[in-house]
Amino acid sequence: MIIPIRCISCGELIGDKWEKYSEELAAGKDPKKILDDLKVEKYCCRSALTTHADIMDEIAIFKKKLVSVKSK
């Protein structure tokens, strides 16, 4: 889904770091180095970013079907 704005465990702001993290990860950079550069130091926040699955594009397909069914 969408990355949580704040870490679920500690409340630290992490939503603003997702875009840069995912871009650099796709470019082949080491996740540890990216998180260190972004100054994400706590384990809970690091795990929230590293384990997040961005499936919004796949979910959006179902949303379109649901809207088309309602309009008929």
The CB-of-7 to Zn ion minimum distance in angstroms stands at: 3
Q: Which residue has the tokens 């969408």?
A: 2
3-state secondary structure of 47: helix
41 vs 59, beta carbon nearer Zn ion:
41
Q: Give the residues lining the site for Zn ion (CB under 5 A).
A: 7, 9-10, 12, 42, 44-45
Q: Which is nearer to Zn ion, 2 or 59 (CB)?
A: 2
Q: Where are the alpha helices (DSSP H) in 1-72?
A: 18-26, 31-37, 43-50, 56-71
Nearest to Zn ion of 7, 34 (CB atom): 7
